[in-house]
Amino acid sequence: MRQERIGWASGILFDTGTLRLLFDPTLGRMLGEDWRVFITHAHSDHTYGFSTRALKYSTEETRRIYEALRERQAKNCHSVRIGDTIRIDDCEVTALNAGHMMGSCQFKVVTPNFTAIYTGDINCVDTLTTQAAERDSCDYLVVEGTYGHPSYLFPKRSTIYADIVRWTMTEIKDGKIPTFQVYSSGKPQDVVRLFNVYTKIPVICSPAIARANSVHTENGVKLDYLDSSTAEGKRALRSGGCVYITSAATDHPRRNASRAVTTGWAIRQAFRNRASFPLSSHADYSQLIQFVKTVRPKKAYVYTGYTDILSTQIERKLSIRAGPLPVVAQTKLVDFYRVG
Ligand SMILES: [Zn+2]
């Protein structure tokens, strides 16, 4: 039996001593059919596992959004619902809501010797399309630290929504087409819903976003929008009085576009020639601290973003042992994955 380990091995690795579980691997095609990988959500930096031959576990929504964006089918997949527990050998793995985007989940693993949670990306407040991340107890917590710096404190979401609507109305009055640049899935659907709920402004979406939108509508999130590649969408963009949402930086109506970004980085960063709003799909610093406080693990491992700073803050403020997620395999990676 190997030593139990939690760490980074081109993905988040929980090695129970008898079983290696890999979450959000970045290995691409290297993993064979005998591997089991877990995919937390459909953002492209978390979905490399879908292109491996391994047995993949994700929510149905995550796989469907991935397939809609890539326009191809993922194979050898097993769907889990939020709240479902699956048994693998002597371990149990449960999917918990992560609140980050449709279908996003955390994974909790119960082994004979320890319990651990990998959060993936989390958001701890409700949005117009998702509910706040669940909190469950565990011995070891692997938590994201994207905005784990004390300067990242987001305003109330309703305040940001109001700011976005106000700016959009002003730009439209000036004859412009407000154009929001966002990822293809998650945030854009929240922005579409925002305009649907609070305004009557027609919403036009680029084709990739429209494909992700359709998965949302199939799963009960009502979105009114036009695809910019359709005749109706093109006509609406020509006549103006609408808002355009796209995932490509260079894609905007040639004339009359006034551009905006929605990102948590807007708290500290200015964006040239663009309006910016701190609307994020991630937890801010205070949400992360509160999350760890509630979970109260024996040890927290922080991966991505402000790993050192958030670890120090968790130790100081909560008296919980914390540190950046250790790297367990970086060199000789191929050898590492070939052995057992
Ligand atoms: Zn994400």
Q: Rounded to the nearest whole angstrom, what is the distance from the C-alpha of residue 298 to the centroid of ligand 1?
A: 26
Q: What is the Cα–Cα distance from 213 to 211, expressed in whole angstroms?
A: 5
Cα radius of gyration rounded to whole Å, the chain = 21
Bridge pairing between strands 115-118 and 105-110: antiparallel
Position 330 scores a pLDDT of 55
Q: For residue 41, how far is its CA from the centre of ligand 1 (angstroms)?
A: 7
Starting at the edge strand found earlier in the chain, the sheet holding 91-97 runs 85-88, 91-97, 105-110, 115-118, 140-145, 299-305, 321-324
Both tokens of 192, joined, read 């579409």
What integer pLDDT is reported at residue 331 of this predicted model? 47
pLDDT bracket for residue 252 (50, 70, 90): low
Between the CA of 40 and the centroid of ligand 1 the distance, in Å, is 9
Q: How confident is the model at residue 194 (pLDDT cuts 50, 70, 90)?
A: very high
Rounded to the nearest angstrom, the distance between the alpha carbon of 333 and the centre of ligand 1 is: 25
Amino acid 28: pLDDT: 63
89: left (phi > 0), else alpha (psi -120 to 50), else beta?
left
Give me the mean pLDDT over the 115-121 stretch.
Answer: 98
Q: What is the mean pLDDT of residues 51-76?
A: 94
How close is the Cα of 100 to the center of ligand 1, in Å? 7
Question: Beta strands 20-23 and 12-15: pairing type?
Answer: antiparallel
Closest among 173, 214, 218 to 192, alpha carbons compared: 214
Query: Mean of the per-residue pLDDT values for the chain?
Result: 93
CB-side exposure of 18: number of CA atoms within 13 Å? 8
Between 183 and 321, name the one with better pLDDT.
321
In this predicted structure, the answer to whether residue 110 has a pLDDT above a threshold of 50 is yes
Q: What is the pLDDT of residues 7-57, one digit of tens each?
A: 998 899 998 888 889 999 997 667 777 788 999 999 999 999 999 888 999
Q: What is the pLDDT of residue 1?
A: 67
For the chain, give the percent of residues with pLDDT over 70. Answer: 94
Give pLDDT tens digits for 213-241. 999 999 999 999 999 999 999 999 999 99
pLDDT beyond 80 at 340: no
Share of the chain above pLDDT 90, in %: 83
Q: Which helix (H) or strand (E) holds 208?
A: helix 207-218
| pLDDT tens, residue by residue, 141-172 | 999 999 999 999 999 999 999 999 999 999 99
Residue 121 alpha carbon to ligand 1 centre in Å: 5
Q: How far is the CA of 43 from the centre of ligand 1 (A)?
A: 5
pTM of the model: 0.94
Q: How confident is the model at residue 339 (pLDDT cuts 50, 70, 90)?
A: very low
Q: Residue 332 pLDDT more than 90?
A: no
| Structural contact between residues 257 and 176, judged by C-beta atoms closer than 8 angstroms | yes
Q: Is 199's pLDDT higher than 70?
A: yes
287-314: per-residue pLDDT in tens? 999 999 999 999 999 999 999 999 999 9
Strands (DSSP E) contained in the chain are: 5-8, 12-15, 20-23, 36-38, 55-58, 77-79, 85-88, 91-97, 105-110, 115-118, 140-145, 177-181, 203-205, 226-227, 243-246, 257-262, 275-277, 299-305, 321-324
Helix (H) or strand (E) holding 213: helix 207-218
Sign, Cα dihedral of 185, 186, 192, 196? positive
* Residues having C-beta closer than 5 Å to ion ligand 1: 43, 121
